[in-house]
Amino acid sequence: MADDYLDSRLTERRNPRSHTIDTASALEIVDLIGAEDATVPAAVALARSEIASVIELTEAAFRAGGRLLYVGAGTSGRLGVLDAAECPPTFGTPPEMVVGIIAGGYAALVRSVEGAEDDMNAGIAEMDARGVGAHDLVVGIAASGTTPFVGAALSRAQTSGARTALVSCSQPPKLLRDTCDVCVTVLVGPEIVTGSTRMKAGTATKLVLNTITTGAMIRMGKIYGNLMVDLRAWNEKLVDRSQRIVMETTGLARGEARSVIEAADGQVKTAIVMARRGVSRTEAERLLGEHAGRLREVVGDPPPVATV
């Protein structure tokens, strides 16, 4: 057939709005790409209910002592690893709580590993090696919705008792849809450069993953108001932020805030309880434990947002 070259996957179709982009000036290229990128948030918003369902599954996994495991290949895999890597410093989580798995392993983070995304046995092996089970949630990330490595991993996770979800930017096949508890399908349309899913699809995926982990961590009590009170102060910027959070929520001067954070062994949330309730570190930790780490339930509402 003359049209055999046409692909049914939305992410592989040609974009009629960019078919002359190779003749465009630099400014015209910027405008074309910007116009396409501007459509992404609205496409993500259409999947709001499904994203909320994944947040609920993630919270349930965490409360059961399980993990969130992202599985992807290429750009999708790198985005999953990135989101996982950002959770410990932002939310104070152990590295094993949110895990990013990329086809081809560590080497694939910085360069393409030939054939890795097609290796179904490797996807199965990753689930077995990680001991995926009933308390875990496995989220596959596949822009095209058809990546064999991801599909095999999700199937194995399901048979191991885990809950499963898929984030894609093209309608996944029925078999994969049936494998998953939730499918987050964000139809951003054909890319400005045909098949280059690091662009709109990548942007959409980043937005979805940000929302999943941030939403789940908020539900887990790791945010007070909109302050990241479980952050890990691993650099000067975060040390400063920790002190400013304690100052804002307790009324302490910087030197006093620094002292109470040190007494709390660097735990901002514990320091706030110690200062607000006038208790020891041990008692502060006990109070937080009684209330599932929800700071508002221990010390009341946070201060209103200051206006400059």
CA gap 271, 126 in Å, rounded: 39
User: In the structure encoding, which two tokens stand for residue 153, read together?
Assistant: 């991993």
Asked whether the beta carbons of 100 and 81 are under 8 A apart, the reply is: yes
CA gap 285, 233 in Å, rounded: 19
Residue 162's closest CA among 294, 277, 70?
70
The total of other beta-carbon atoms located within 10 Å of residue 35's CB is: 12
CA gap 296, 273 in Å, rounded: 10
Residue 138's closest CA among 167, 107, 111?
167
**Is 96 tagged catalytic?**
no
Asked whether the beta carbons of 67 and 98 are under 8 A apart, the reply is: yes
Asked whether the beta carbons of 85 and 101 are under 8 A apart, the reply is: no
Helix 268-277 × helix 236-250 angle, to 10°: 20
Catalytic residue among 117, 126, 191, 285: 117
> What 3-state class would DSSP assign to 125?
helix
Angle at 302 between CA 278 and CA 239, to 5 degrees: 75
CA gap 17, 36 in Å, rounded: 9
Across the strands, what pairs with 182?
A: 165
Q: Which residues contact 60 (CB under 8 A, 6 or more apart)?
A: 137, 163
Angle at 136 between CA 288 and CA 180, to 5 degrees: 130
Residue type present at position 54: V
**Is 59 tagged catalytic?**
no
Catalytic residue among 86, 248, 256, 283: 86
Catalytic sites, residue numbers: 86, 117
